[in-house]
Amino acid sequence: MNRDFSKTIVITGNGKGKTTSALGLCVEASKAGLKVYFGQFMKGEEYSEIKALRQLSGVSVDQYGGAMALGREINDQDRAVAKKGIERAKVALESGLFGLVVVDEINVAAFLEFLDIQEVLDLMDAKPIKTGLVLTGRYANDDVIAKADEAYEIGEIKHYFAKGVEAREGIEM
């Protein structure tokens, strides 16, 4: 059986399921005996996805983004939180302890300029050969996609949000 988790994967697009796809990879890696680091930008609440990850063996979870607010001008505190997040993700990546490192919503953080795109590219360059790296979020930069081994765009065909249905606990949060 091939146990090669060493690829860099980008999961982007306007459809629902980018984080969910990354969570599936975390489950598979954990169940295969690999240690997993899951760092989440832009979100600070302990949604169901985070609660589930914390129950998996060998999975470490960090959130760095609860102070980041959408719909207002970016401030130095936002950038500091994002900077701390990318530094922690880089330490996890370079440590050699993890078979899989996921940086959830990093594409959005870069798109909104909480992070500089060069910081994301540098993170990708820091990936050890035997470690997998997953970058999720809408608006993935073309250079990030080009540098990745695999890239997936999740599109929306139809979603009940358009009818005013709010996010449901256990499904979207």
Rounded to the nearest 10°, the torsion over CA 152, 124, 40, 156 is -10
pLDDT value of residue 44? 72
Residue 5's pLDDT is 66
| Average pLDDT by stretches of 10, the chain with 173 residues | 77 95 96 96 82 94 74 81 95 96 96 94 96 97 98 87 66 59
pTM metric for this prediction: 0.90
Q: What are phi and psi of 61, to 5 degrees?
A: -125, 130
Query: Which H helix or E strand runs over 80?
Result: helix 76-95
**pLDDT score of 70:** 64
d(CA 30, CA 33): 5
What is the distance between the alpha carbons of residues 59 and 32, in angstroms, rounded to a whole number? 12
Residue closest to 62 by CA, chosen among 95, 110, 117, 103:
103
pLDDT value, residue 163: 66
Q: Report how far apart the first and last C-alpha atoms of the chain are (Å, whole number).
A: 34
Q: What is the pLDDT, as a whole number, of residue 6?
A: 83
Tokens 């607010």 — which residue? 69
Give the model's pLDDT for residue 170.
61
Task: Write the burial class of residue 78 (CB in 10 Å: 0-12 exposed, 13-18 middle, 19+ buried).
Answer: buried
Identity (one letter) of the amino acid at 64?
Answer: Y
